Homo-oligomer: A and B are copies of this chain.
Amino acid sequence: MNPEAPKPCNPEAPYKTYLSENELPAAWYNLRADMKKKPAPLLNPATKKPVTAAELEQVFCRECVKQELDDTTPYIPIPQPVLDFYKMYRPSPLIRAYFLEKSLGTPAKIYYKFEGNNTSGSHKLNSAIAQAYYAKEQGLTDVTTETGAGQWGTALSMASAFFGLNCHVYMVKCSYEQKPFRREVMRTYGADVTPSPSLTTEIGKKINAEHPGTTGSLGCAISEAVEAQSKLPNARYLLGSVLSQVCLHQSIIGLETQAALKKLGVKPDVIIGCAGGGSNLAGLIAPFMGEKLRGEADYRFIAVEPASCPSLTRGVYAYDYCDTGRVCPLQKMYTLGSSFIPSASHAGGLRYHGMSSMLSELYDQKLMEARSVKQTEVFEAATLFARTEGTLPAPESSHAIRVAIDEALRCKKEGKSETIVFGLTGTGYFDMVGYGKFNDGQMGDYIPTDADLAAGLATLPTV
Using CB atoms and an 8 Å cutoff, list the residues of chain A in contact with chain B.
1-4, 6-11, 14-16, 18, 20-27, 29, 33-34, 74-75, 80, 83, 85, 87-89, 95, 99, 117-119, 121, 158, 161-162, 180-181, 184-185, 187-190, 255, 290, 383, 386-392, 427, 429-430, 432, 435-436, 439
Contacts and interface: CB of A to CB of B under 8 A. Distances in A.
Contacts of A121: 429
A290 B435 contact: no
Given A119-B386, A255-B6, A387-B161, A181 B392 contact: no
B184 A119 contact: no
A27 B439 CA distance: 38
Q: Top 8 nearest A-B pairs by Cβ distance?
A: A181-B432, A184-B432, A6-B25, A161-B387, A15-B87, A3-B74, A6-B27, A429-B429
A387 B88 contact: no
B391 A188 contact: no
Interface centre among A9, A16, A25, A29 (most CB of B within 10 A): A9
A375 to B, nearest CB: 15
A39 B87 CA distance: 42
Given A14-B20, A88-B15, A184-B432, A6 B390 contact: no
A119 B6 contact: no
A387 B435 CA distance: 29
A4 B390 CA distance: 38
A95 B290 CA distance: 34
Contacts of A389: 88
Contacts of A119: 386, 390-392, 427, 429
A116 to B, nearest CB: 9
12 contacts: A4-B27, A4-B75, A6-B26, A6-B75, A7-B26, A9-B21, A10-B80, A18-B18, A88-B390, A89-B390, A118-B391, A161-B387
